[in-house]
Chain A
């Protein structure tokens, strides 16, 4: 393992222009707002936060599928902007939530898994067949299943196909965006176990996005909590779960309903206002929902504070 971070992002920002109604004027949505972090090789950074907070946008920026409005993404020490697509594909690969949407329904599984190899343009047919067979084997699919079509497989098997396709070029880094969110809990466990095993055996680095904190706790070595485009807390997983510092992190953790009878449903204390990425509040963007906000929070935006325990962005932390 080298000292170079597997992923490093600096001042990353991405805006979108959106219209909220047919005749409404276009607005700017800042989906990712001045995000910086680095992920050491071999580790797993979990990213959590409510829907719309910018997790998928962050994933697509890191994968090079979206251009940043500002800032840089470095993968394995190299700037992503301007990198050749084929070189990028050998370095970093995605696994998305809905394998059905990301697999071509008219192609056989083995052809789907072969796509990244074919796109390289310089790999021989025999080599391709051998590496596809290997990849299927790795993710627990039979060679016979390789001859089928996506519709003939279950949701969990399709997610295995997506993982095989992501691994066939032997990348160093895999970005998983809600990879188990569409699956039943028994199948989710199968896929999480597979991802953990692959990481150990192949020395992979993951960026792992999920709205399920218990899933992230299980798989991530470090966790970043996003709120309206910003990382409001980051830290080693054990520390973050044991001693959350940001009030939003505390609310997220409080809302995890573990299967322990008798505890009831906790009051997460967030009120009924929902965050709107097109209308980011002044001051601390969390203040309208924050249970501990003081006057200063509605006028002055907190800056990120970094120490040994990680990063936190709150006036009161």
Chain B
């Protein structure tokens, strides 16, 4: 199957920060690919690269950036604008990034359809109401006439999802869409996303720092650290046999009810995520890694650890035995 989205060798430099350092990943139709890692690892910059929305002054290089088989790496701003909100859509942690406080929900939702498709107003309103109902909003008619600030955080996030779906996108990029929400609302929104994907068959690239979310909704996972994908695998394989010391460390840090007894310490990783400068060589994790050796300052091999399971590490796959903790 050819991938819906294919990124190869993505590099982004912002000033003196090497934010993304050779990321390759792909998202198939109907697949949820999760990008996971702590803050500052380059997840958002990776997503923004795909959407052509990088901050000013960023330098982007790619070997390939294909969407639905077409190379979009050289698209100009006008061509990207035509794709965005239409065939590929993005939702953010803070819905107000995409919602304009000065317009009603209805006028913003219909505007997307009118701009991309020239759909007549009445028809666009019907579509908006239908999608609001689809995202679990009980009074769509009422909400269409309201302004974003009149909605709770959870409702705003539902509206943003509905708005992203207006043009039936093939690819949805969601950057920490539930991080600012209460856990109850988070579960509702994630369940909603999973349902929509099943119904509409779209590809989702979902960014999160939460391994719980990854386990529950991803088909495939890429773990990012310091601008690189350090491990990538089908979800079941990643949790059953995590290979990279960072993946294993991250898993051991997550409190899970009933797993670690009270008064026994959680696993932890010393130190913090570094900011990497251009020209950095070796493994970005080596200062925090309990397994680091002299070899870790040199070129790091990308190893095969099983069926489409790759690890960027000097250690031989299988070094630590079965699942981390």
Contact = CB atoms under 8 A, between A and B. Distances in A.
Nearest to B235: A261
Contacts of A241: 257-258
Interface string B110-138: 00000000000000000000000000111
Contact of B268 (A155, A190, A259, A268): A190
Contact of B183 (A193, A213, A217): A213
Given A258-B256, A258-B257, A261-B239, A186 B38 contact: yes
B215 A218 contact: no
Interface string A182-210: 00111111101100110010000000000
Interface string A215-228: 10111010000000
Contacts of A268: 184, 187-188
Contacts of A185: 38, 209-211, 250, 253-254
Contacts of B282: none
B257 A274 contact: no
A196 B188 CA distance: 32
A307 interface: no
A270 B184 contact: yes
B249 interface: yes
Interface stretch (A71-79, A95-103, A249-257): A249-257
Interface in B206-224: 209-217
B20 to A, nearest CB: 19
A96 to B, nearest CB: 18
A150 to B, nearest CB: 15
Contacts of A260: 215-216, 239
B315 to A, nearest CB: 19
B73 interface: no
B256 A184 contact: no
Interface string A46-60: 000011000000000
A266 interface: yes
A214 B257 contact: yes
B253 A265 contact: no
A267 interface: yes
Most buried by B among A51, A200, A237: A51
Interface in B244-271: 249-258, 260, 262-263, 265-270
B293 interface: no
Given A256-B183, A259-B239, A221 B253 contact: no
A1 interface: no
A221 B262 contact: yes
Contacts of B263: 196, 200
Interface of A: 50-51, 154-156, 184-190, 192-193, 196-197, 200, 211-215, 217-219, 221, 237, 241, 251-252, 254-268, 270-274
B184 A255 contact: yes
Q: Which of B152, B182, B214 has the most CB of A within 10 A?
A: B182
A219 B257 CA distance: 10
Contacts of A155: 272
B176 to A, nearest CB: 13
A262 B262 contact: no
A273 B184 CA distance: 12
Given A255-B187, A258-B215, A274 B253 contact: no
A241 to B, nearest CB: 6
B302 interface: no
B262 A219 contact: yes
B194 interface: yes
A272 B136 contact: yes
Given A189-B267, A272-B137, A272-B154, A261 B215 contact: yes
11 contacts: A156-B272, A184-B39, A186-B250, A189-B268, A190-B270, A219-B262, A221-B262, A261-B239, A264-B216, A265-B216, A274-B152
B186 A261 contact: no
Given A186-B250, A189-B253, A193-B268, A274 B155 contact: yes
A213 B154 CA distance: 19
Contacts of B191: 265-267
The 9 closest A-B pairs by CB, nearest first: A257-B212, A189-B268, A255-B187, A189-B253, A184-B38, A186-B269, A274-B152, A214-B255, A50-B182
Contact of A193 (B152, B266, B273): B266
A188 B209 CA distance: 13
Contacts of A257: 186-187, 190, 210, 212-213, 215-216
Contact of B138 (A221, A256, A270, A272): A272
A211 B182 contact: yes
Given A259-B211, A265-B191, 6 more contacts: A50-B184, A184-B272, A187-B272, A217-B255, A218-B260, A221-B262
A258 B216 CA distance: 8
Contacts of A156: 272
A156 B40 CA distance: 14
Nearest to B138: A272
B158 interface: yes
A155 B214 CA distance: 25
Nearest to A241: B257
Given A154-B272, A257-B213, A192 B184 contact: no
